[in-house]
Amino acid sequence: MTQASYELDVRPILRSGGEPFSAIMQAVNGLSAGQALRLLATFEPVPLYTVLGKKGFDHAAREIGEGDWEVLFTPQAQAANAQPTHDGAAASAWPEPVHQLDNRDLEPPEPMVRTLAAVEELRPGEVLCALLCREPVLLLPELGKRGLEWLGAFEADGTMYKLLIRRAAEREAAK
């Protein structure tokens, strides 16, 4: 028997000028194994396709009228084996962060700007910890382009995203 999809309507949040990303991620994290998410939005949420694709979801989108969209995110068959969204080694093998940034009260793009400026100061092997109110979907590709490793996830209560960023040690970078 197929499990009913979970419906999340973020149109009221968007129409009031809010940011629905944390509500979407809470919904995704609360899905049962194999359960799909039916998302209703005021635009086609193209950036979300990549984010949820990394979490093991396929998508099917259709415009439902008046500029509104319905997107069905369904788990891929191999979603149970999906890798967590991070690059680099496990955090337990990393040294303690030497820098801490609390970006939770900042409006975009300030968290990204502050974090990119701070990582430029990292020496090889050093780690930065950045606290954010949402998953930094635009920041993560930038870190990769700069050759930085990262680990990130929402805290268990879903209210804070903790991002660890490491500049590879010189001997690791030479490999």
pLDDT in tens, 75-98: 886 333 333 334 334 555 788 999
Q: What is the pLDDT of residues 139-175, one digit of tens each?
A: 888 888 888 888 888 777 778 889 999 998 765 444 4
pTM, two decimal places = 0.51
- Kindly calculate the radius of gyration of the chain based on its CA atoms and give it in whole angstroms: 18
Q: What is the pLDDT of residues 18-37, one digit of tens each?
A: 999 999 999 998 888 888 99
Topology (CATH) of 6-81: Translation Initiation Factor IF3 (3.30.110)
Two structure tokens written together for 34: 């194999």
Q: How many CB atoms lie within 10 A of CB 110?
A: 11
CATH, domain range 91-173: 3.30.110.40
> For the chain, which residues make up each domain, given as ranges?
6-81, 91-173
Query: Any idea how long the chain is?
Result: 175
**Identical topology for domains 6-81 and 91-173:** yes
